[in-house]
Amino acid sequence: MDAKLERMQQLAAIITEHNYRYYTLDQPTIDDADYDKLYDELVALETETGQVLPDSPTQRVGGELLAGFEPYKHRARLWSLDKAQNAEDLLTWNTRLLKAIADYNTKHAEEEPLPQPSYVVELKFDGLTLNLTYEDGQLVQAATRGNGTVGEGILQQVRTIRSVPLSIPFTNGIIEVQGEGIMQLSVLAKYNETAVEPLKNARNAAAGALRNLNPKTTAERRLNAFFYNIGYADGVTFENHREMQQFLLENRFKVNPYVTYMEQIEDVVTELEKITEQRAQLDYLIDGAVVKVVDMRTREALGYTDKFPRWAVAFKFEAEETTTVLESVSWEVGRTGKITPVARVEAVELAGVTVQNCTLNNIGDIERKNLKFALGTPVTIRRSNDVIPEILGKADEEEGAEIVYPAMCPSCGTELEQRGAHLFCNNKLACQPQIIGRITHFASRDAMDIDTFSVMTAEQLYKDCFVRDPADLYALTFDDLIRLERFGERKANKLLEAFEKSKSRELSAFLYALGIPNTGKSTTRMLADHYGSLDALMGATAEELISLPDVGGIVADSIVTFFNDPIALTSIERMRALGVKAEAEQKLVVREDSVFSGKTVVLTGTLPTLSRDEAAAKLEACGAKISGSVSKKTDFVIAGDKAGSKLTKARELGITVIEDEEELLRLLGEVSG
């Protein structure tokens, strides 16, 4: 065998093993730097030889844009589950189960009787159902549930999920493995820290990524998956659920650690109460639990109704979906000119709150959910994670009045342009909501951090001082401000001081403040670190930018287009003339002798005096690596007031917790012990 090909196979096997230990077992055995060396060596060999192994770990980053999804007929039907909303419903299901077992034993007296049922309880994940097909040990297809019989092939999207094995030890036939694609809440929170368009909830984030025709978008979401069933098996059989679960584990599938076996239905009821209480502590969404009969022979004997297996039931939490009437749709203008529809519904109680406004993302969302002719008709709405509820779709087939898409900007009357599923107003210079939005963003904490500034300040300066661009802020004088309503001498001077202080903000904050489309905080920080000066970045080409980490074609084009816009260039030139420095911050000298050197640290809750960013900066200066989620790799958790599930998990894992800010500062070397 060619030596290079042999080395590629060795590297693929080693990297796959490390991926399994990191993403599936949560037990990493190699540090990031050494892992990167192995990965880079494999990429270099693939480039040099022009060959890529079928299950190469380099193929998880997402391929080219797909033309569409192909239908896939499941080898075994994916069934829905009957629902139990409370303990009474569960006991009613169990009574039917016992009767069905007794009836079967009576009718098949010559056979060995079915045993008294024992039960397994598993979590019911709130994501997107996956059905993976493995043939001779290789992942050959992945599909959505669809209607249970036919789904959509999403193999390229699923290959980006690093906890999904591309090959498995079982090579004796074909199996279909069912699971749930999810986005962990900690991953969602980290994603939203830098996202231009934050994702509203983890369920939609996962479903939207897996049904996105661009696998690179799927890869960016860093999804995970749990597996719990084998719907079709050729070459292997199981006597009970334990055997099937063990088979999944042995074949390197990620199985959720919560699985409970019980002999009595009363114990199941008690366990479901515990799950209901503890759901908020999980790092992923669940909408209930699933109760199944453990014995496979009993499952086969009892079979299915037209819709459900008789041997399983879903215990659902309090409904977070309901039906109401869609009354109207209004259109709001954002700082980038994007026009967003907002739905007004008939007031309804949902998960403890009164709901009147609902999310509709764009006109594509309206079309996809068949809402174009839904005004005045019942719609189904869902509330998740305390965010504004979203409309899922029509509740029946009734046709209502049409939602009319605006042709002109609802604020300034400019003709709108459609780009993809979104409408945009291109009037940057005279569209009030855009201008106020840009100025408010420019002054925000993560941007220029102009103290005491708010959207109300932006509105007042727009109206009374003719502020139309962020550069106008630095031209304001004491005489301009003192004449404003609710502006006394102290307030005027304080705002002028805040303007002056902001002129020294580092380059990364300035770039973020500019609001370059499709760039968030992490991207602007990377750009500032790489280029070191504003002028160097402004002269960068798309080809140069694409070579940088996490910069794709869309982001590169956005940056180049922004710095070629005469309006943006004029604004930047004025700001620099008025004293805005926009210089890269000095490289941090990282200590190597601190207790935090080389350690992974998670921050949670609110500290008395330090902000989250300030604490993170001090820890990074001591050599710490800041993480957004708690795992076995975590060394310290810094817990402030109102610390939640991360603190609970840290204690469960025995991780060192620092709950006192003074103790943290002492360890950082900033106060004496």
Helices marked H in 475-592 — which ranges?
478-482, 489-502, 507-514, 521-531, 534-538, 542-546, 553-563, 566-577
Of 124, 216, 254, 649, the catalytic one is 124
Catalytic residue flag (residue 124):
yes
Quote the pLDDT of residue 278.
84
Q: Are 524 and 476 in contact (CB under 8 A)?
A: no
Quote the pLDDT of residue 74.
92
Quote the pLDDT of residue 183.
92
User: What's the number of CA atoms in the CB half-sphere (13 Å) around residue 570?
Assistant: 7
Say how far apart CA 355 and CA 342 lie, in whole Å.
13
Residues whose CB is less than 8 angstroms from the CB of residue 666 and which lie 6 or more positions away in sequence, other chains included: 672, 673
DSSP 3-state of 173: coil
Helical pair 455-464 and 432-443, crossing angle rounded to 10 deg = 130
Q: Each residue of 643-659: pLDDT tens digit?
A: 877 888 888 888 999 98
The beta strands (E) that lie in 116-194 are given as 119-125, 128-135, 138-144, 150-152, 174-182
| SS3 per residue for 217-282 | HHHHCCCEEEEEEEEEECCCCCCEHHHHHHHHHHCCCCCCCCEEEECCHHHHHHHHHHHHHHHHHC
Class in CATH terms, 432-502: mainly alpha
Residues of the chain under the 50 pLDDT cut: 65, 385-386
**Phi and psi at residue 344, in whole multiples of 5°?**
-110, 125
Q: Look at the pTM and tell me if it is higher than 0.75.
A: no
CATH 3.40.190.10 fits 507-577, yes or no: no
Quote the pLDDT of residue 385.
47
Residue whose structure tokens are 């994501």: 127
CATH superfamily of the 600-667 domain: BRCT domain (3.40.50.10190)
Say how far apart CA 194 and CA 530 lie, in whole Å.
18
Say how far apart CA 29 and CA 633 lie, in whole Å.
10
Say how far apart CA 597 and CA 650 lie, in whole Å.
20
Quote the pLDDT of residue 609.
85
Quote the pLDDT of residue 120.
96
Domains 432-502 and 507-577 share a fold: yes
Q: Are 126 and 203 in contact (CB under 8 A)?
A: yes
| SS3 per residue for 81-109 | CCEECCHHHHHHHHHHHHHHHHHHHHHCC
- Take residue 352 and report the two structure tokens written for it: 């403890």
Helices (H) and strands (E) in the chain, counts: 25, 22
Quote the pLDDT of residue 384.
58
Q: Are 600 and 627 in contact (CB under 8 A)?
A: yes
Quote the pLDDT of residue 578.
95
Query: How many residues does this entry show for the chain?
Result: 673
Residue 203 exposed, middle or buried by CB count within 10 Å (0-12, 13-18, 19+)? buried
Quote the pLDDT of residue 23.
60
Quote the pLDDT of residue 46.
79
Q: CATH for 3-60, among 1.10.287.610, 3.30.300.180, 3.90.550.10, 3.40.50.300?
A: 1.10.287.610
Run of H or E including 339: strand 338-350
Quote the pLDDT of residue 502.
94
Q: What fold is seen in the domain 96-316?
A: D-amino Acid Aminotransferase; Chain A, domain 1 (3.30.470)
Parse the chain into domains and list their residue ranges: 3-60, 96-316, 321-419, 432-502, 507-577, 600-667
Q: CATH for 321-419, among 2.40.50.140, 2.60.40.10, 3.10.180.10, 1.10.3720.10?
A: 2.40.50.140
Amino acid at 248: L
Q: Each residue of 363-382: pLDDT tens digit?
A: 988 988 889 999 999 998 88
